Amino acid sequence: MALATDPSAFDPAVSDSSRPGARACAHRLIEFDFERKIERSAGFERFGPAAEEGHYLWLDIDVAGDPAGARALLSELELIDPMLLADALESEPDTRVRRFDDYLFLALTGCRIRDDSLVTERVSVVVAEFFLLTIHHGQVAFLDEMLRDYRGDFLRFAKGPAFLVYELLSQLTENFLVGQRHLASHVEKLQLALIGEINEEVFVRVATVGNDLLAFRKILVPARSMLTELAQRKSPFISEETRPFLSNMATTVECILADLLADRDILSGSLDLYMSMVGYRTNEVMKRLTAVSVIFMPLTFLCGIYGMNFEILPELKWEYGYALFWLVVLTIAGTLVFLLRRAKLL
């Protein structure tokens, strides 16, 4: 079947001037006909007729820069409970699921690689019988990936609205894999750097990567619990065909957590190796300093004796006393150097 697509449906910001609230924030509104495999951009006036025709609407709202406008728009549309609206507009990282009679609320947190570091991004999702609502602050990596990739799968596999939930959670899982690979590469680079570096900066780098690993784990653990709950508990908004796939995603997240734990162990082991190397090099320096001290201690003793202010020191009056002193010094020093080298202490 042919896919009817309006390019404006995928623009970063599409406004519908027919409603005053719609002008306040960037949004997309897409209408899906799963039976005929058709999607198209729509206006807010389609919320009622689309439901009557058995179509499904996806409203995506970017509240960056104008949260008041987004709040006004959502309040006007009356899509969700006012008590939940404040939660949906939050930008703090969070991953959880809340069940209501008329809809399912999901808080999803992914990550984006920015300036070689991981930055968390949140999307609030409301899944209802006739619409899907996504709310976010600025661009979100896994949501952008979904917008790029879902159309092909829509033609081949989509049978109902649960397809959109699957696509969104699938991209979130892929996003986790990208984040884990990024952290694993940092751990590997740091492990190689620890072999040759002896400086204070290495502790800062280890601490930074360690904090990133912990922060990433705080995202993965609730995501695993959320996917497991969605896969095991029946819901009118998640089809039976979708639940096994969600279970597979939960297994994937479990594997990512295991890899993350391995990365932490590698980082900890690398730091222990680094500290052992520092201790070994310190011991080598101390060993050489000790060997030098052993050589100069008897020489210092001789200098102390002949530096005393006694009137009767026979060697001071002897013609060859100075030469004898140097002979004794060189003999002692040479003997000690020979013995220390033989014992591999010097």
Residue 132 has phi, psi (to 5 degrees) of -120, 130
What residues contact 117, with CB distance under 8 A and at least 6 apart? 212
Angle subtended at Cα 122 by Cα 117 and Cα 123, rounded to the nearest 5 degrees: 145
- Catalogue the E-assigned strands of the chain: 26-33, 38-41, 56-62, 96-99, 103-114, 117-128, 131-136
- Per-residue confidence in pLDDT tens, the chain, 346 aa: 222 333 333 333 344 434 444 444 678 899 999 888 888 888 888 888 888 888 999 999 998 878 888 888 888 888 888 888 888 888 888 899 999 888 899 999 999 888 878 889 999 999 998 999 999 998 899 999 998 888 887 888 888 888 899 999 999 999 999 999 999 998 888 888 777 666 777 778 888 888 889 989 999 999 999 999 999 988 888 988 889 999 999 999 999 999 999 998 988 888 888 888 788 888 888 888 888 888 888 888 888 888 887 777 787 778 888 888 889 889 998 998 888 888 877 7
For residue 19, what pLDDT is reported?
43
CATH 2.70.70.10 fits 284-342, yes or no: no
Q: Across the chain, how many H-helices and E-strands are there?
A: 9, 7
CB neighbour burial string for 178-200, b if at least 16 within 10 angstroms, e if fewer: bbbebbbebbeebbeebeeeeee
| Structure-token pair, residue 221 | 């653990």
In the chain, where the domains are located = 284-342
Q: What is the pTM of this model?
A: 0.76
The total of other beta-carbon atoms located within 10 Å of residue 279's CB is 10
